[in-house]
Amino acid sequence: MKHLIDPHGGKLINSIGEGPVRDYLIERIPGMEKVTLNKREISDLEMISIGAFSPLEGFMGQKDYNSVLENNRLASGCPWTIPITLAVSKDDASKYALDNDVALCDQNGEVMGVLYLDEKYDYDREKEAQVVYGTTDIAHPGVAALYEKGDVLLAGNVVMINRPDHGEIEGVLLDPKETRLLFHYKGWSSVVAFQTRNPIHRAHEYIQKCALETVDGLLLHPLVGATKKDDIPADVRIECYRIILEKYYPKNRTVMSVFPAAMRYAGPKEAILHAIARKNYGCTHFIVGRDHAGVANYYGTYDAQKIFDEFKPEEIGIIPLKFEHAFYCKECDGMATGKTCPHGKESHVFLSGTKVRGMLSEGKDLPEEFTRPEVAQILMKASRGVA
């Protein structure tokens, strides 16, 4: 078997507490101070613990935090573009003592993990918003979430002792150690990952299959963590992906697994984070299309592709596959991009998740130029509340 790509930073982190470690921590929880995590923080805890955010072993300390904002790198020099932090209010911060364990709980009080508190520090929300999101506008969902956070950041290594309940989609949840083992036994030395938070449509299928022509396998990796309220629910999207893979993709060259990260809508900065995470899952290539991880009009159409040019290829490690906006051309009678189609815009049917959501909200049928009929049927049923 060929060697799989190395994890980011050279080591795949695993901080899932099991066996005696888990038992020991559970016994000590009653004596710990507690922090209640929101959905994004729970996702971050899981992503750190399963190794998807390698080389992070916990929530960032001040040196890493400052280095990420100033240099797009961890203090070690390893490329990284978005702070992964845990915030509490200034009043609460005083009750958490350094060099002590802190229980990390969900909204219902269930303990999800334990943080060994190594550091507490203040931070500048406005600076972080401008650097990470390119704006301080609270209409941006990432900025709004940032401004809702507490004033003090807690830092230190974490251990997850209870994983979030992902419901029915747990059947397609593979951790980085599992995808790496699967790719190994499939004999895949080159794997392309596709990130999406939208139902699959023709443009997705087109660029996925173009990419699949050049590598051994495809990891379809839909994000199922916290998203905007108007995004289509994860279970509906997964049903769409399943039927497409079953009917229109080669089974021996495709794998689907859900990606339990939360969306930050940070555009270019998040594209790098998504690529690094897929490298940790064992992927060698990563599809970056139009307005990756974008929202509204905060980023240029291809800013998420251009940011990769700011790093040396060997620093990121995973290869970005940059695709232009794909569309259905009536004259070509098929999918194309500006690189392959000679016809004018009047012949083009542009496809986007936003447009699909808009048509569904208006009760309109989705034409075949948008997506496969099987997918359209699932989406229409879901939008109309049909069982």
Q: Which of 40, 163, 180, 198 is catalytic?
A: 198
Report the 10 Å Cβ neighbour count for 70: 10
d(CA 216, CA 130): 39
d(CA 265, CA 276): 16
80 and 72 Cβ atoms separated by less than 8 Å: yes
Judge whether 252 counts as a catalytic residue: no
Report phi then psi at 348, rounded to 5.
-100, 135
Judge whether 197 counts as a catalytic residue: yes
Q: Which of 256, 251, 253, 287 is nearest to 271 (CA)?
A: 287
273 and 308 Cβ atoms separated by less than 8 Å: no
Q: Which of 163, 197, 290, 372 is catalytic?
A: 197
- H-helix segments, 99-228: 125-133, 141-147, 176-186, 202-212
d(CA 341, CA 338): 5
Residues with catalytic roles:
197-198
